[in-house]
């Protein structure tokens, strides 16, 4: 029996005992923080798991099965041309326009397929950060200067962070890529254009189902918002046809799923319930399908098991510490508002750190920053928070750690925080 091991166990036990013994259960703020943690987790489960995460898991599962590994290596591998690989990574993120948690299964998919650490982390940052709708809303609500700066620096950041990660971890990444088995593409029965239609329909379902209100009652983005569920339904029907004609699933099962989805909408008049019925139908379709479809479901489930528990733990902790938007956790919001005033290095650093640990759903960062600006926040710290916040969150960090390991994760987080702080400070001086 190792003395050191037993001493460690004893000290952990004592620390846990002292934590429980002095737990401030009588404190109103502590009780409210627990309530906020549970409320944020409930809100997250209702608003993001079904519409955001589940479609993202299916996309990630399909990527591991249907996207040819040599294509990932050609466009996102460490040996591919930098202009090509980082261009593809940033553009992909712009198209997806997802939050910091929804991007994770997609990041895990390309990373495990052989994408280099540089392009993979560029994609990881760009997915939630370079959100066209959020940037437009930032310009409209927070001012054209902040909106323009957010757009430009988010694109630059994705490339700089990716390049820096590739330089720092070049040797370990080469070893990782050597250990990845290059598989033959026996699973993929689709041609290039069929793959494009297949993944296009999956991505379109994810994007349109989560399309947020642009804050106006006219224009192209509002038209998409007003018709988001019709667009989602159209691409869902396209996916159903692809399942039947290209992936050889049972037309009876797929047809029954379509009929049940229509009936659900007629009865409940709720697109969310209809979406759930469609997801359940897709699971049944894959479970009852051929080996290829079963492999897709198995891969999707593997990503779900890996990511969901860590996300929920992270959301609980984030809710306890910082609360929901507009509500307080254990940390008083007045502390944060007072510490992000002016344009010092500290205020920009503090804004970057708070943004990095707080969870922002897509578009919610804009009204939060608007409220902080009204409370005296400087425009430099506001930009720093907008550059760090959407790309990172505590739940996001926990999952990244499970994929990259602590050293790469800490480096990625520090790069986002440091660059956001520097740019925020410079922007505040202008």
What are the DSSP calls for 80-134, one per residue? S-HHHHHHHHHHHHHHH---TTTHHHHHHHHHHHT--HHHHHHHHHHHHH--HHH
> Is 70 exceeded by the pLDDT of residue 179?
yes
Q: Could you report the per-residue pLDDT of 341-370, keeping only the tens digit for each?
A: 778 899 999 999 988 988 776 667 777 787
Q: Could you report the per-residue pLDDT of 317-329, keeping only the tens digit for each?
A: 888 887 776 777 8
* Confidence band for 294, pLDDT divided at 50, 70 and 90: very high
* Confidence band for 185, pLDDT divided at 50, 70 and 90: low
Contacts of residue 388, defined as CB under 8 A and 6 or more positions apart, other chains included, come to 351, 352, 353, 355, 356, 416, 417, 420
**Residues paired with residue 395 on neighbouring β-strands, in sequence order:** none
Dist CA 6 CA 214 (whole Å): 57
Domain ranges of the chain: 50-189+290-429
pTM listed for this prediction? 0.82
């Amino acid at each position: 029996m190792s003395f050191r091991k037993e001493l460690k166990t004893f000290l952990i036990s004592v620390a846990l005992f002292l934590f429980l013994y002095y737990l401030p259960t009588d404190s109103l703020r502590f009780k409210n923080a627990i309530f906020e943690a549970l409320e944020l987790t409930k809100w997250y489960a209702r608003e993001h798991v079904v519409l955001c995460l589940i479609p993202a898991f299916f996309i990630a599962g399909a990527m591991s099965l249907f996207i040819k590994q040599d294509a990932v290596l050609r466009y996102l591998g460490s040996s591919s041309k930098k202009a090509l690989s980082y261009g593809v990574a940033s553009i992909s993120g712009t198209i997806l326009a997802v939050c910091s948690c929804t991007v994770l299964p997609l990041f895990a998919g390309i990373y495990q397929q052989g994408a280099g650490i540089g392009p993979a982390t560029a994609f990881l940052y760009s997915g939630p950060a370079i959100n066209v709708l959020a940037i437009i809303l930032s310009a409209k609500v927070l001012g054209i200067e902040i909106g323009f700066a957010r757009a430009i620096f988010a694109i630059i950041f994705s490339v700089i962070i990716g390049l820096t990660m590739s330089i720092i971890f070049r040797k370990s990444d080469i070893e990782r890529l050597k250990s990845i088995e290059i598989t033959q593409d026996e699973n993929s029965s689709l041609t290039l254009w069929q793959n494009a239609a297949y993944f296009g329909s999956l991505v379109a379902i994810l994007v349109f189902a989560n399309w947020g209100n642009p804050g106006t009652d006219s224009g192209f983005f509002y038209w998409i918002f007003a018709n988001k569920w019709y667009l989602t339904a159209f691409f869902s029907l396209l996916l159903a046809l692809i399942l039947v004609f290209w992936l050889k699933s049972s037309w009876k099962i797929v047809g029954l799923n379509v009929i049940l989805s229509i009936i659900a909408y007629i009865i409940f008049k709720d697109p969310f319930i209809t979406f759930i019925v469609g997801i359940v139908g897709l699971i049944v379709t894959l479970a009852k399908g051929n080996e290829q479809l079963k492999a897709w479901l198995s891969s999707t489930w593997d990503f779900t098991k890996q990511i969901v528990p860590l996300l929920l733990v992270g959301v609980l902790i984030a809710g306890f510490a910082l609360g929901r938007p507009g509500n307080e956790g254990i940390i008083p919001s007045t502390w944060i508002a007072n510490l992000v005033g002016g344009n010092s290095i500290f205020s920009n650093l503090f804004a970057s750190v708070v943004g990095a640990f707080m969870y922002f759903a897509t578009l919610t960062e804009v009204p939060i920053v608007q409220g902080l600006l009204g409370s005296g926040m400087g425009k430099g710290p506001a930009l720093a928070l907008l550059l760090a916040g959407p790309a990172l969150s505590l739940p996001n960090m926990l999952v990244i750690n499970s994929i990259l390991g602590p050293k790469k994760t800490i480096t990625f987080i520090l790069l986002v925080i440091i660059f956001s702080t520097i740019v925020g400070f410079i922007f505040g001086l202008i």
